């Protein structure tokens, strides 16, 4: 019973691509899962970014057990209960992101494709 979190920051060179896996627990929120993975300070920055509609940030989810996915454009808050077998993807991307970085992200996600099945 795990949750996988992919964190990608394409605003910097080299890109920061990090995969975290945490144990799912009842009553665990998306914020709590992200906090366990990257720490409270970074989780708060992500949450604040979503609440202020930071256009460089997208947080989306996928539940590999049910096939359910977040809406187009991701989520706007992190206070919802996260289900077991969920995958959260946190991506920062801006106008300076290069095609090489986009390609690197795509390859990294494909290399981790087994998590999605």
> What gap in Å lies between CA 65 and CA 79, rounded to an integer?
21
Count of domains forming the chain: 1
Domain span including residue 26: 2-116
* 3-class DSSP state of 3: strand
* CATH number of the domain where residue 104 is located: 3.10.20
Measured over the CA atoms of residue 22, residue 24, residue 50 and residue 61, the dihedral's sign is: positive
Per-residue confidence (pLDDT) for residue 44, from 0 to 100? 97
> What gap in Å lies between CA 72 and CA 10, rounded to an integer?
20
To the nearest 5 percent, what fractions of the chain are helix, strand and coil?
30, 30, 40
pLDDT digit of tens for each residue in the chain (117 aa)? 899 999 999 998 899 999 999 999 999 999 999 999 999 999 999 999 999 999 999 999 999 889 999 987 889 999 999 999 999 999 999 988 999 999 999 999 888 877 655
pTM of the model: 0.89
- Taking alpha carbons only, the member of 58, 69, 63 closest to residue 83 is 63
Edge-to-edge strand list for the sheet holding 86-92: 16-23, 2-9, 86-92, 57-63
Helix ranges, the chain (H): 30-38, 40-51, 99-111
């Amino acid at each position: 019973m795990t949750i996988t979190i992919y964190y990608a920051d394409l605003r910097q060179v080299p890109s920061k691509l990090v995969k975290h896996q945490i144990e799912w627990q009842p009553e665990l929120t998306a914020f709590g899962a992200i906090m366990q993975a990257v720490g409270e300070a970074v989780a708060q920055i992500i949450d604040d970014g979503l609440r202020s509609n930071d256009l460089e940030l997208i947080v989306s989810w996928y539940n590999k057990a049910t096939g359910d996915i977040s809406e187009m454009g991701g989520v706007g808050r992190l206070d919802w209960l996260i289900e077991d077998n969920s995958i959260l993807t946190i991506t920062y991307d801006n106008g300076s992101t290069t095609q090489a970085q986009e390609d690197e992200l795509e390859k990294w996600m494909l290399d981790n494709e087994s998590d999605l099945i």
